[in-house]
Amino acid sequence: MSPDPLDALRQATRARVALGRAGDAMPTAHLLTLRQAHAAARDAVHDPLDADALAAEIERELGVGVCRVASSAPDRSRYLQRPDQGRRLAPDTELPAGEYDLALVVGDGLSPLAIRRHAVPMLREILARLDGWRVAPVVVATQARVALGDEIATAIGARSVLVLIGERPGMSSTDSLGAYFTYDARRGRRDSERNCLSNIRPPYGVDYAPAADTLAMLMAEARRLKLSGTALKADPALPSAEEPS
């Protein structure tokens, strides 16, 4: 039997390539695998984050203070139906205020599984690169959207915010972690005013150390230029908006 010329391609990607067919349909084995992947993606969205356990792990493993907050979405169903509520803190939320350069927020987002697997090792790499930064206690947030970090930074007294959050699961990726950095964080910031590094999920995605290196470079440039978002380039060789090309 001659080798299948597509085998090399299949081994090089997690995408579903040239699955074949059985009559007018997909082969049963591939169909069952696809349904299993779909079920895993749904489970990743709905499986709740044990925020108390995560906060305890962060304190124990990283030796930093941790605060707990929730968004104004009262439950997972409302969180999925009303993204706006996930961007606002729950009423009467109190956070210890100070003067900080950076707030670090860990939010469950659309994949609490990603937070359970990757948040602590990613935080460890980030904290190791923050010499000279006044860093607020880490905030663990549930039913969180990215923009919730803006309100947290304002409440805690931080100029900038870095949000680690579970990204929307896909059919081949249920545990992808995203990192969103915003300089001069405050309510009303647009997505174009943030820098995003996505698909942090070794061994299949970006590893923790290179992700932290990229974030540290972006954050240092943000402090120097006093901006973030599309005007701030991830490649130091590219000119930023306030520099001559």
Amino acid at site 26: M
Q: Compute the 3-state secondary structure of the chain and give helix, strand, coil in percent, each to the nearest 5.
A: 40, 20, 45
C-alpha distance from residue 46 to each of 72, 81, 140, 162 (Å): 18, 13, 18, 24
Can you point out the beta strands (E) in 121-207? Answer: 138-142, 158-166, 177-183, 194-200
pTM, to two decimals: 0.88
pLDDT per position as a tens digit, 82-93: 999 999 999 999
Can you point out the beta strands (E) in 76-176? Answer: 100-107, 138-142, 158-166
Tell me the C-alpha distance between 157 and 171, whole Å: 39
* Residue 24 predicted with pLDDT over 90: no
Query: How much is the pLDDT for 2?
Result: 65
Length of the chain: 245
Q: Would strands 177-183 and 158-166 be described as parallel, antiparallel, or unpaired?
A: antiparallel
Tell me the C-alpha distance between 1 and 184, whole Å: 63
Residue range 162-178: average pLDDT? Answer: 94
Which range, of 38-47, 109-118, 138-147, 158-167, averages the lowest pLDDT? 38-47
Q: Kindly calculate the radius of gyration of the chain based on its CA atoms and give it in whole angstroms.
A: 20
Task: Output 10 or 135, whichever has higher pLDDT.
Answer: 135
* Residue 172 predicted with pLDDT over 90: no
The DSSP output letter for 33 is H
pLDDT per position as a tens digit, 190-241: 999 999 999 999 998 999 999 999 999 999 999 999 999 998 876 654 555 5
* Residue 115 predicted with pLDDT over 80: yes
Question: Does residue 164 contact residue 105 with C-beta atoms inside 8 Å?
Answer: yes
106: Cβ contacts below 8 Å, ≥ 6 apart: 54, 58, 115, 119, 123, 138, 139, 140, 141, 163, 164, 165
Query: How much is the pLDDT for 234?
Result: 65
